[in-house]
Chain A
Amino acid sequence: MNTPMRVILIALLAVSMGACSKKVKEVSPPAVVATPTETVAPVVIDDGRYDASDLDSDACLRQRVVYFDFDKAEVKAEAQAVLACHGKYLKDLPGARMTLEGHADERGSREYNLGLGERRGNAVSGALQANGGTAAQITVNSYGEERPTCSESSEDCWAKNRRVEIVYTKAQ
């Protein structure tokens, strides 16, 4: 197989692999890099792997909050896609580290909610590990109901407070 063809195939493969999680970076089309020289410049080929700059630019990775139902710690279907991106990021950058900050709404007792926040953090940690992250990359830190983002006693506000925030402590 000649080199230009291989580049195109790799690129196609990357597109299909990344379909569920990440789009190929907007670089020049593969045809342009197909130079007649023997050496292929790998830097311009997107291999489908995340790099640290994607944390700020990738639409999926920029989503860092996962929401939960009342007194529940199950990761909802709507959060799976985001957690797949972050799990893949952890896999692609084994040096990356994150803290999962678990939170609860104000209903119920404070120490129980500290446990609930941790349970939510653990659920997110499990989902990230299922998507390629490792336990060593993830720290769960529960704040219970002590750090609300919203202080009204209403369902809208409670829903915003029942969350896990993904905080990267080391990008790569």
Chain B
Amino acid sequence: MHATLKRLLGLMSCCFFVAVASAQTLSIDIVNGSPSARPIAVVPMAYEGGGLPLDTDISAVISADLNRSGQFKALARDDIIEYPVRQSEVKFPTWRMLKQDHLVIGRVLDAGAGTVRIEFELHDVATQARLLGLAVGGRRSDLRGAAHQIADFIYEKITGVRGAFWTRMAYVTSTGLGKNTQYALMVADSDGYSPQVVVRSQEPLMSPAWSPDSKKLAYVSFERGSSTIYMQELTTGSRQILASFRGINGAPAFSPDGSKLALTLSQTGNPEIYLMDLANRQTTRLTKHFAIDTEPVWMPDGQTLVFTSDRAGKPQLYQVPVAGGEASRITFQGEYNARATIAGDGNKIAMAQGAGNVYRIAVLDRSRGGAEWTQLSPGSLDESPSFAPNGSMVLYAAREGKRGVLYAVSVDGRVRQRLVLADGDVREPAWSPFRQR
């Protein structure tokens, strides 16, 4: 079939997707905590505008974000005994008595046309210094988004690392079994709130991958009968077919500059890694081996791909220069290593690591020249790790009973939270890149 016609058909199958729809919310349980978490009090913010009361508890969203990172322990709401709104109202001895390192206060003002202005301050309790005094604007309908941005400012000021709370995650859900299964590709805030359906289908959906500007998702859909790679604009819902060759069309991954897509095609008879130039859709083959080569991911410099191959008998991770050349193996511990995700600095690679019937998320750290391993999850069927864009946390999928659930774990493995959808099987979380303000 002609390529443009194919694309047109892809666009026409509008019944399969809806741009915006609400669905069940994920809830979060803290599995364990970190003793080194920094105590911080986030005082409820006063609404000083003249409109209806706000429908979002901004300070509660900020506290939950900071807790989830494992780096902070937010003071429980019941333990907050004073409610300063401005610096002049802060009595530091109170917060010292409550053993808090930091204090966040703020107020919300009307900014016209359905928007608000949130002024907040971050104070160091010991030195009584004001570390931050900023204002964040936002729509009344997206106060959670504004709260996540404030949490990012606080996180970065105290830890020195850019916050990744104001980000999103894509994931796949399925309900039912056999021919009655319903699949959906979802996008939610990084804390699991505000889930929206990107695509719904009666055929499998797989492997969501974010464009570097967070505006598009590439994914695999079987709606045409066999695996096909689509690219979809999140705001408009418009989409196009990127790859529908004979055999497997899988494992899409955008290059860091967004100009190329790494993907898996089996048009020559077995899965190989290819590069697609997104400007002209030309594909270049990168691997040539009778083994299964798949799951390419980009190193941050865009010069190297890491991928899964069973050329040595069992799946292991390999790297290959984007310019072409020989692939070299990079994992030598664990009998089964697959589905890599790479942290922003390129030194940490997380993967699904299997031994017997137990699959855990493991991190390989090459920053000190060697190969240091950390296990992030207990198993037994953990898969699909995805790094936060700041490398501080990893999302992954686990099995509990007959269904899949998502977990978020700090990169040191010490703090883990479960994100549970009300029903159905949840898998393949993909953490978005940073969003542009």
Residue from B178, B294, B336, B399 within 8 A of A114 (CB atoms): B294
Is A153 in the interface zone, CB < 8 Å from B? yes
Q: Is the CB of A116 within 8 A of B226?
A: no
Is A111 in the interface zone, CB < 8 Å from B? yes
| Chain B residues within 8 Å of A143, by CB | 204, 222
| Chain B residues within 8 Å of A152, by CB | 402
Residue from A71, A114, A142 within 8 A of B314 (CB atoms): A71
Is B308 in the interface zone, CB < 8 Å from A? yes
Q: Is the CB of A109 within 8 A of B339?
A: yes
Q: Name the CB-closest residue of B to A102.
A: B248
A-B contact count (CB 8 A): 98
| Chain A residues within 8 Å of B248, by CB | 114-115, 118, 142
| Chain A residues within 8 Å of B383, by CB | 108-110
A116 vs B178: C-alpha distance when bound (angstroms): 20
Q: Is the CB of A111 within 8 A of B207?
A: yes
Q: Name the CB-closest residue of A to B183.
A: A146
A115 vs B427: C-alpha distance when bound (angstroms): 19
A26 vs B226: C-alpha distance when bound (angstroms): 40
A88 vs B359: C-alpha distance when bound (angstroms): 42
Is A21 in the interface zone, CB < 8 Å from B? no
Q: Is the CB of A111 within 8 A of B247?
A: no
B22 to chain A, nearest CB (A): 25
Most chain A CB atoms below 10 A, which of B178, B247, B427? B247
Is B354 in the interface zone, CB < 8 Å from A? yes
Q: Name the CB-closest residue of B to A121.
A: B247
Count residues on chain B whose CB falls below 8 Å from chain A CBs.
43
Q: Is the CB of B251 within 8 A of A111?
A: yes
Is A119 in the interface zone, CB < 8 Å from B? yes
| Chain B residues within 8 Å of A149, by CB | 177-178
Is B276 in the interface zone, CB < 8 Å from A? no
Q: Is the CB of A109 within 8 A of B308?
A: yes
Q: Is the CB of A116 within 8 A of B292?
A: yes
A86 to chain B, nearest CB (A): 21
Interface string of B229-256 (1 = CB under 8 A from A): 0000000000000000001101100000
B162 to chain A, nearest CB (A): 29
Q: Is the CB of B270 within 8 A of A108?
A: no
Q: Is the CB of B271 within 8 A of A118?
A: yes
Kindly identify, within residues 86 to 126 of chain A, every residue whose CB is under 8 Å from any CB belonging to chain B: 106-112, 114-116, 118-119, 122
Is A45 in the interface zone, CB < 8 Å from B? no
Q: Is the CB of B402 within 8 A of A112?
A: no
Is A140 in the interface zone, CB < 8 Å from B? yes
Residue from A71, A114, A122, A144 within 8 A of B269 (CB atoms): A122
| Chain B residues within 8 Å of A118, by CB | 247-248, 266, 270-271
A110 vs B339: C-alpha distance when bound (angstroms): 8
Is A4 in the interface zone, CB < 8 Å from B? no
A141 vs B269: C-alpha distance when bound (angstroms): 12
A107 vs B353: C-alpha distance when bound (angstroms): 11
Q: Contacts A114-B227, A118-B247 given; indicate if A108 touches B294 (C-beta within 8 A).
A: no
Is A148 in the interface zone, CB < 8 Å from B? yes
Most chain B CB atoms below 10 A, which of A111, A118, A119, A144? A111
A144 vs B271: C-alpha distance when bound (angstroms): 13
Q: Is the CB of B359 within 8 A of A146?
A: no
A94 to chain B, nearest CB (A): 21
Q: Is the CB of A151 within 8 A of B177?
A: yes
Q: Is the CB of A112 within 8 A of B339?
A: yes
| Chain A residues within 8 Å of B338, by CB | 108-109, 112
| Top 5 A-B pairs, shortest CB-CB distance | A115-B292, A146-B204, A109-B338, A109-B339, A115-B271
B→A interface (CB under 8 Å): 177-178, 181, 204, 206-207, 222, 225-227, 247-248, 250-251, 264, 266, 269-271, 292, 294-295, 308, 310, 314-315, 336, 338-339, 352, 354, 357, 359, 380-381, 383-384, 399, 402-403, 425, 427-428
Q: List 16 A-B contacts (CB under 8 A).
A: A107-B359, A107-B381, A108-B338, A109-B352, A110-B383, A111-B206, A111-B250, A112-B294, A115-B264, A115-B271, A118-B248, A118-B270, A118-B271, A122-B269, A146-B222, A153-B381
A→B interface (CB under 8 Å): 71, 106-112, 114-116, 118-119, 122, 140-144, 146-153
